[in-house]
Amino acid sequence: MQLRLPLRPIRRVHAHCDVPCGVYDPEQARIEAESCYKIIEKYHGSTDELFRARCILAKEERAELAKHHIDVLWSDYFKPEHVEKFPDLQQTCWKAAKAASKVKQTTDLEAAKDLLSLIDKIDDMWKATGGPEKTRLNGRPS
Amino acid sequence: MPVERGRRRPLAASLVRGAALGAGLAAAGAVRRWVDVVEVHGGSMAPALLAGDWLVIERRTYERRGPRVGEVVLAPDPREPSRELVKRVAAVDPVAGLIELRGDAPDASTDSRDFGAVPTASVRWRAVARYWPADRVGWLRPPGAG
């Protein structure tokens, strides 16, 4: 039986946070997007059909992960006050998620470049809203 | 054995005890409608409130007037109404009848920034004071008011 002090409340109230992990970094998305870029290069440089098939498979996985990491930043890290500061924040995240889909669908190197540059834009907004100090344990490793 | 003892106890005494107990429970129940105690879970109200703090809450004030900015209030989580949240009032829109809730630790708080403003009518309890832990007993004041 649980020992209960007579004054201890039964009713609970929650100073709630979905998950107080709070660790975010666009670098996660960037690494997946760089993988896509390199894989597309290798795909075009090869005539081995088996290798090319593997490239496509791996690229689709990586692009999906990049999209996931973009979604997490968009829906969890960024807050309304950040949108006030950067009015094109929503548009940029949306474009980046769409660019990730494009990379998944095609073997177009330009699509991968486009995705990388959009992730860099998100990275700038993350930095400007205190991301490295606020959301990494010891800032972003240099 | 309880049956045996029950038989031996005079009926009148049982009735008196029962009535006293009932009256006591009813009185406690009446007070309970206006005043209650709660335990804080989670850290989104740090440093004002910490997990494990015990608070006195009351619901008389908001029968007279609406919540004010800076007050610590209870409200059902709009996304999961069985969960009661404790947050601070960040803004009040009396025309729309909406209240913005915010945790004192904004980087570790899920609040109106995520689920939007909540109806004023859903905010009924005001947190008044902390009575545990012993070294932090005191009234709850808006941040910066000392």
Contact yes or no for A24/A73 (Cβ under 8 A):
yes
Residues of chain A below pLDDT 50:
1-2
What was the pLDDT predicted at A20? Answer: 52
pLDDT, tens digit, for every residue of B40-56? 998 889 889 998 899 99
Contact: A13, B51; criterion CB under 8 Å: no
Does the pTM exceed 0.90? Answer: no
Interface confidence, given as ipTM, is 0.73
Contacts of A7 in chain B (CB under 8 A): 37, 54, 131-132
Distance from CA of B13 to the nearest CA of A (A): 28
Higher pLDDT among residues B127 and B24, named by residue? B127
Residue with tokens 């975010």: A24
Residue A81: what pLDDT? 84
pLDDT at B143 over 70: no
Task: Tell me the mean pLDDT in the region B125-142.
Answer: 90
- Decide if pLDDT at B77 tops 50: yes
Task: Please name the residues between 71 and 100 in chain B that touch chain A, using a CB distance below 8 Å.
Answer: 74, 77, 83-87
Contacts 24+ apart (CB under 8 A), B93-98: B93/B117, B94/B66, B94/B120, B97/B121
Q: Judge whether residue B87 has pLDDT over 50.
A: yes
Give me the residue from A9, A17, A81 closest to B109, CB to CB: A17
B110 touches chain A (CB under 8 A): yes
Sign, Cα dihedral of B85, B91, B92, B95: negative
What integer pLDDT is reported at residue A119 of this predicted model? 98
pLDDT at residue A133 in the model: 82
Query: Residue A1: what pLDDT?
Result: 40
Predicted pLDDT at B1 = 45
Residues contacting B141, CB < 8 A, separation 6+: none
Do the beta carbons of residue B81 and residue B53 sit within 8 Å? no
User: B37 and A11: CB-CB below 8 Å?
Assistant: yes
Question: Hey, is the C-beta of B112 within 8 angstroms of any chain A C-beta?
Answer: no
pLDDT of amino acid A22: 73
